[in-house]
Amino acid sequence: MILEGKKTWEIRGTNTQIRGRIAVIKSGSGTIIGTVELTDSKKISLKEYKSGECYHCVPEEDLVDAPYKNTHAWIMKNPIIFDKPISYKHPMGAVIWVNLFDFIID
């Protein structure tokens, strides 16, 4: 949904200072399937979370509580879907961020 432009908030339990174009990886596939611009990260209240379904695409019936003690919206725009995914080797232990320059497979 991120790469289709439908989901513009990624909800996380931490803030991020990273800004700019980031890769979107299909979990477990070893491929980068597109990119998106990460433009901002902001802490949101339960009220903002509940009223933000159109941004994060979490169904209203699942919005009883905030998903994290400190809930942040990572704000994204300008998605690009690749015609052909790019293979990469996922480093051990990496969960959220991977510097792909060292791991792209030619």
How many residues are present in the chain? 106
Please check whether residue 13 lies inside any domain of the structure: yes
Structural domain for 13, as ranges: 9-98
Contact 13, 72 (CB under 8 A): yes
Whole-structure pTM value: 0.83
Please check whether residue 63 lies inside any domain of the structure: yes
Please check whether residue 4 lies inside any domain of the structure: no
- Cα separations (Å) of 71 from 5, 9, 50, 63, 86? 21, 11, 12, 13, 31
Sign of CA dihedral 39, 37, 29, 90: negative
Please check whether residue 2 lies inside any domain of the structure: no
Per-residue pLDDT of the chain (106 residues; tens, 9 = 90+): 999 999 999 999 999 999 999 999 888 888 999 999 999 999 999 889 888 999 998 887 777 777 778 999 999 999 999 999 998 887 777 767 777 666 555 5
Total structural domains within the chain: 1
